[in-house]
Structure 1
């Protein structure tokens, strides 16, 4: 007896639900919406799930579309148990296999038709050029070639629904889930949409239609009725028609790139800013003020510090000032504790550039009918080197002049102007200094005011020996100025000078003041003021950051449905979080850039008004970096809130 051949095993169902229930809880109240749903849907079917409002059909659709999870029971898609998948795995399944067509279209209002269609491809990694080509081809196929750049508000209801169908097909759309697709349309537009769904079914797409209207459900090949959370009628799966083409998945999917994700998120961020220009400007304002004030305040602080340092440095920041008298001695005793030989000995200490005596007295200078009372400084020929004060005209007196007790003088610019008005050249002229005739051999360069406010140019320099013998009559030194070569070793040099003088004198009958330490102390004080100014400005930057967070939280609330749309089309948690985080960073970075420009402009205006300003790169980088960090820190909470939204809840938001 011949063996009877067995029939070929039936293909595994595309979708298989077994004992699926869904319960919603509100505190202690539990409402079971679905009661043990068993359902199989095979590849290529055109299924209508029909029921009245409250029957559970929308809840069933959300579970079928992986937007929601069943409370109990199993859901297998192509043999895979999806009830155990993570949020991101469900998002990937929606992205690759499902396309949604909603009653209210659920288009992103700030994006045009092509951009709305491209949304699923953003999350599948399709390159931008191919994404644009496919979106335009789908829209053209659906009769919207002339509406590609129109926003949803510029399209009719039927056109918006065709855009949503094109979006559902962007990544292939193995399964098209249509939730009341004709509910918001007129009869003609509704008929056109149903015709499109029938064509998609004929191409091999599995179409699941959710409706409450019998005339809409009649377009499907299989009608499932649901009532009170239970399936009450289901003829069972039907094999595809002979004329139906098998489903052809989209070829050439892309690979998601982190850089591409960031670029697209930045574009969406800028589009969102353009959509709410006034609010964006107010948000930017807080960051702009914060960054601008940080830069301006620090520029003012650095300028003030530099001005003080420059004035002290004019006295010589590389100087040691040696004076007679014990450290605790008050006043000047007149004891000759410092002599010229001490100067010569100090001059031989390593790292000493020059050691010069300074003996100051007051004298009256006359030339012709002009006279002036000024200070006379008896010093050595190395004075210009020690004080870093060059001669402007003529020369300084020489070692030979000192040895010969020469009556030669070098005038400060103020004295030269007083005795030789009108720009007369004083070089070679003879002046009376306390009735002694001195020849002018040079004029010093302009020095300006001292840190104490006195005029440093109101002075005359003469050889020390000449001053001591013929002018002041003093035989002791009031001051020795020591210039060091390497300022970094000034402390070591000071210690060597102290040791030398202690060996020569046997007792500590001198005092040494380190000018570098004075400048360091001044800088520390000024740094404290700069930090204070910067802190005050940083507070405004902090307030601006709080403003960014507040606006981003409002944005998340306003765009909850957009978040749901993106999740339904395949956005994972990191995609949503990345988008809103980058939006916050873009706001902060843009505000930071404007604030940098504004701060530099404000500093320039302040400088033009006469306030010392010092520009440096560090405050600019610091302020902009803080603005960037503000976006990251204060954008995190809103971004996390957006990423954790439930897709079903987000789509239901108004």
Structure 2
């Protein structure tokens, strides 16, 4: 029998039983849609992580108090300061810049309304190291730091929250802890932050001003950040920083931990990929269930069409022709399920956006889902097709 004839017979059977085809392929439809959504969520998660860390330099090294140490006494712990950070810079041939920041919350009065906002005191090198860019106005500089001036830069979310538009906030006066500050700039949007700081949600003031007027010296712990000259020398830079801390703090150096931005990014991406693998496992299980459904239906179909198989064999169809016919039927059913699954994934897109789930639909996801569907139909349809091909014409024609 010619392949075109086999295909024609298969299509006629599928068209005449279209509702059964749709019901049979339900598992495949759900599986295909699940795989596409899983890949989209996984890709979206990875892109979100990359976006969140986009502003970080992979050459940044963070110096933070190790709060996992149960013996730490915040009041007595020796603290970083500008002089100590200068030692870190001078002692290492791998470090190009250093900065300090302190953070906390304070009462803020903007346009007559009282609020409570995160306040971050930073040295003038902080913006450059963290790739902070000013969207409107200007940033904090060395003069502001040296004179402990009462000026501030607003994160974009803070500006939009309190002012009609972010640009309009520049030049306005606000009160922080009862003292008047001038808004000199607005940061570009940054996404998630670093060292527990969310730039979009914070108000930045000079480091010296923060220590002098806003944040409690007893409980505020300065955090350090260093930038390596060469991205390939991060490990050497970290080793240099640790050596400097050992020299500066002696036995107290164990109170501090040194981390690099690259490892944070890799850890976040690894977490996103792990979640993607778990979701893919769920989608695979759904496909297997769908494949078993196809196999069961084909077994029933073989029983129902036993006489038809006997007639085809009596007319000269070979076992190979019967095998191809039923296998083709299985693949077409699963392919229909795959295509309908792709359509379903498009219908689910608005729901994911409504729920705020980051998704990134790619052509790869759709191709993988369709291939998965076809492979599932082939694997699970083979045995019923093989059983059909082995029926003897006489037994098939006499089957009741």
CA separation in 1, counterparts of 2:394 and 2:5?
25
Equivalent positions of 1:63-74 (< 5 A) are none
Matched, 1:461 2:204: yes
CA separation in 2, counterparts of 1:371 and 1:528?
44
For residues 424 and 534 of structure 1, do their structure 2 counterparts lie closer, same or farther at Cα, with a shift above 3 Å needed?
closer
Q: Over aligned residue pairs, what C-alpha RMSD do you find?
A: 4.2
CA separation in 1, counterparts of 2:295 and 2:264?
46
Residue 295 of structure 1 aligns with which residue? 36
Q: Give the counterpart of 2:145 among 402, 405, 411.
A: 402
Q: Is the 8 A contact 1:325 1:333 kept in 2?
A: no
Residue 481 of structure 1 aligns with which residue? 225
TM-score scaled to structure 2, two decimals? 0.77
How big is the shift at 1:446?
4.7
Q: Which SS does the other structure have where 1:389 is aligned?
A: coil
Higher helix share: 2
Residue 294 of structure 2 aligns with which residue? 548
Larger Rg: 1
Equivalent positions of 1:15-30 (< 5 A) are none
Q: Is the 8 A contact 1:352 1:485 kept in 2?
A: yes
| Deviation readout 1:25-52 (Å, 9 max, x if unpaired) | xxxxxxxxxxxxxxxxxxxxxxxxxxxx
Q: Is the 8 A contact 2:156 2:189 kept in 1?
A: yes
Q: Give the counterpart of 2:348 among 577, 599, 602.
A: 602
For residues 532 and 360 of structure 1, do their structure 2 counterparts lie closer, same or farther at Cα, with a shift above 3 Å needed?
closer
Matched, 1:391 2:134: yes
CA separation in 2, counterparts of 1:488 and 1:635?
53
Q: Is the 8 A contact 2:109 2:175 kept in 1?
A: yes
Q: Which SS does the other structure have where 1:296 is aligned?
A: helix
Between the two structures, name the one with larger relative contact order (CA 8 Å, sep ≥ 6): 2
CA separation in 1, counterparts of 2:79 and 2:27?
64
**Long gaps (5+) in structure 2:** none
Matched, 1:628 2:374: yes
Q: Which SS does the other structure have where 1:425 is aligned?
A: helix
Equivalent positions of 1:338-353 (< 5 A) are 338-344=80-86, 346=88
CA separation in 2, counterparts of 1:391 and 1:600?
38
Residue 332 of structure 1 aligns with which residue? 74
| Deviation readout 1:45-87 (Å, 9 max, x if unpaired) | xxxxxxxxxxxxxxxxxxxxxxxxxxxxxxxxxxxxxxxxxxx
Q: Is the 8 A contact 1:361 1:377 kept in 2?
A: yes
Q: Is the 8 A contact 2:46 2:272 kept in 1?
A: yes
Matched, 1:271 2:18: no
Matched, 1:359 2:102: yes
Equivalent positions of 1:172-571 (< 5 A) are 261=3, 264-300=5-41, 303=44, 309=49, 313=53, 316=56, 318=58, 319-324=60-65, 328=69, 329-344=71-86, 346=88, 355-360=98-103, 363-364=106-107, 369=112, 372-413=115-156, 416=159, 425-429=168-172, 433=176, 438-446=181-189, 456-469=199-212, 474=217, 478-482=222-226, 493-502=237-246, 505-507=249-251, 508-509=253-254, 510-514=256-260, 516-518=262-264, 520-525=266-271, 527-571=273-317
Q: Is the 8 A contact 2:166 2:186 kept in 1?
A: no
TM-score scaled to structure 1, two decimals? 0.51
Equivalent positions of 1:89-238 (< 5 A) are 119=1, 122=2
For residues 404 and 423 of structure 1, do their structure 2 counterparts lie closer, same or farther at Cα, with a shift above 3 Å needed?
closer
CA separation in 2, counterparts of 1:373 and 1:306?
32
